[in-house]
Every structure is written in structure tokens, then in C-alpha cells.
Amino acid sequence: MAGCQSSENNSSSATTDSDKKLLGMQNRDALTESSNFKAIYGNPQLRAAFFLFLQNVFHLYPEDSFHKLIEDITLVGKTDQDIYRKVQSKLPTIKPFLSEATYALPALWKQKEELSRETLQLLGTSSKINGYLEVGSTGRYLSKLRTMTEISGDIVTVNVAAPTYSPVDIAERGQLNKLGRYVSLNNYEPVSDVADNSIDVVANYIGFHHSPPEKRDTFMQSLYRTIRPGGRLILRDHDVSSASMNRMVALAHDVFNLGVGADWPTNQSEIRNFTSIPEIVTALEKTGFKYKGTALLQAGDPTHNALMEFVKV
């Protein structure tokens, strides 16, 4: 969730009927605010829903303390920039000793276990994978997935940065040795250095919403090129179909970034081209994929981050 366009520029001010039902008539005007923090934390229902994100998805700090810190600073902050920086500056006051071991690593292991289990639910537990490409990490999910099924052939990680032997990277991939071979994400230019029809499974757990809009379709086409006929694309992306969900997902990105230490300019520059599931299905089917029709949602995740399966036909 790091690096992209101003979060204020990615949240629609239009409120749908479903938004009004969710927000309550007395609170729906909060969505017209320019602040993601105020739109969510200024509404009791959305604030309670966001607390689930801190509990079940982004569990890097004690959730009660983190939630209270965000709420208190949002009440007095004037802009998202102001709130973001003040919350970030106060994180040392709620961070427990050795929190990396007691919060960060268990949260990482939980997400690996959850997404690997869901992936095999879509693929079938007896699947053997000949050729695997993971977008957006140095093998975060590959390390767990290959303990649950047989993976052979060309193994590729397509990521912003090459893998290293840093403690963070070792924890990410779950082992000292690097996994597979690295190909640069290269700001979503078409994937190169991967042979046509050589991959059984492409796993994109970070979604397509960080791609520059003008590059998204050609990036999709390049992934399609690498997959064998009958091979699968496993995609996890947010189902953003309303103004309230746009705000929820945008704030999740804001809080993720501030929590991992990204500065405000980095957060502000992050591209967030959020779409609904029907919109992303349309784009991928235009490329040549066929949607299998199942969207798996993680329990307790209010951002509707759905895991989906597409087949190359």
C-alpha cells in the first residue's frame, strides 16, 4: 500500500443510496469532507468498521491504543497531512518493546497463512504449479504457498525493488535464501524477461490499483502473455463501488503508510485507481481472461479486499 496520488484526490464526494444506509442520515455529510481521516473517524459506523482493519489486517501496533490515537488526533487535526504527521510522530508512545516480534511477525504469518489457504481454495488443493510469478513482493506468499503445494518451473518475483539479505526481506520471504528470480516492476511497464506461455499461476496480491491508469491494461496484457492456456491469474483487489468504500480503502492505505514509516509526500504521491469488482472483471476479460465468479473476502476486513481467480482462455 505504499507510494502514490493524493488520497484527497481519489475519494468521490457523491453519496449513493447504499452509503446513506451505511452512514445514517445524520452522518452522510462527512463523506463530502476533504479528509479521509475525518470522513471515517467522524462517523461512528465507519469508525467501528475501520477498527476491524486495525485488528485483523494491519496489526502492527496494539489496536486499542492505535485506534484511540488516530481518533484523538483526528478530532483536533485540520487536514489529512496534519493528522498523518501527528499520528506518525506519536507512534513511539504506543509501540511496545520488541513489537516486531509480538505484532509485526505474527501479523505477517497470519496474512501468509490466510492468503495461501484462500489461493488453494480457488486453485484446488491437489494443484501442482509449473511456473509461478508473484507481483508486488519478493516472494512473501510464495514461501508459504510452496509448503502447501508443489511448485516447479520458472519462479519469478516482479517487484519494485530487488530482494536483499536485510532482516525485513528475510522475514518477508520466510527464509535466508532468495526465492526464484527477480524482474523489476518498472513502474508497471509490460513485464519482460518471462517467456510466453510459460507460467501456470500469476499471483497479484497487491492488486492493479497502484498502476498508472494509462499503463494498467498493457501491464495486464503482458501478464496474460506469460500464462499458459488454461493457466490462472489469482488477483486480490478492493471492491470499491461507493464513496464510503473509497474513503475506507483510502484511509487504510494512509494508515498502512504512516504505520510503516512512509513520509507524507510519499503517501500523497501514491496512485490509487480504485475500482469495483465488475470494473476490474471487465478490464481483465477484455484482455482475454475469464472470471471464475468467486470472490473470497477475509473475515474482519472492512476494505473488501477480494481474492479472485481468472483463467486464460
pLDDT in tens, 86-132: 999 999 999 887 666 666 667 777 788 888 889 989 998 767 899 99
Domain assignment of residue 179, yes or no:
yes
pTM recorded for the entire structure: 0.85
The cell for 4 is: 502514490
Domain assignment of residue 287, yes or no:
yes
Stretch 34-58: mean pLDDT: 94
Stretch 38-63: mean pLDDT: 94
Task: Round to whole Å and give the CA distance between 84 and 105.
Answer: 24
Query: pLDDT-derived band of residue 1, with 50, 70 and 90 as boundaries?
Result: low
Task: Give yes or no for residue 49 having a pLDDT over 70.
Answer: yes
Task: Give yes or no for residue 205 having a pLDDT over 70.
Answer: yes
More confident: 204 or 99: 204
Domain assignment of residue 84, yes or no:
no
Residue 174 domain boundaries: 129-239+283-312
% of the chain beyond a pLDDT of 70: 86
Task: Round to whole Å and give the CA distance between 120 and 149.
Answer: 8
- Interaxial angle between packed helices 243-259 and 44-56, expressed in degrees from 0 to 180 and rounded to the nearest 10: 40
The 3-state DSSP class for residue 195 equals coil
Asked whether 7 and 268 are in contact (CB, 8 A), the reply is: yes
Domain count, the chain: 1
Asked whether 271 and 5 are in contact (CB, 8 A), the reply is: yes
Asked whether 204 and 233 are in contact (CB, 8 A), the reply is: yes
Closest CA to 132 of 116, 154, 147: 154
For residue 109, give every residue at least 6 positions away whose Cβ sits within 8 Å of its Cβ, in sequence order, or none: none
Closest CA to 304 of 53, 14, 39: 53
Asked whether 115 and 236 are in contact (CB, 8 A), the reply is: yes
Domain assignment of residue 295, yes or no:
yes
Domain assignment of residue 171, yes or no:
yes
Query: pLDDT-derived band of residue 195, with 50, 70 and 90 as boundaries?
Result: very high
CA 23 from centre of chain: 24
Using alpha carbons only, give the angle 113, 120, 115 rounded to the nearest 5 degrees.
30
Question: Which segment of 61-65, 165-169, 239-243, 275-279 scores lowest on mean pLDDT?
Answer: 165-169
Closest CA to 225 of 252, 199, 264, 251: 199
Task: Round to whole Å and give the CA distance between 252 and 237.
Answer: 13
Task: Give yes or no for residue 208 having a pLDDT over 60.
Answer: yes
Stretch 128-150: mean pLDDT: 90
Domain assignment of residue 153, yes or no:
yes
Domain assignment of residue 134, yes or no:
yes
Task: Round to whole Å and give the CA distance between 4 and 121.
Answer: 32
Task: Give yes or no for residue 258 having a pLDDT over 70.
Answer: yes
Domain assignment of residue 67, yes or no:
no
Task: Give yes or no for residue 4 having a pLDDT over 60.
Answer: no
Identify the CATH number of the domain in which residue 192 sits: 3.40.50.150
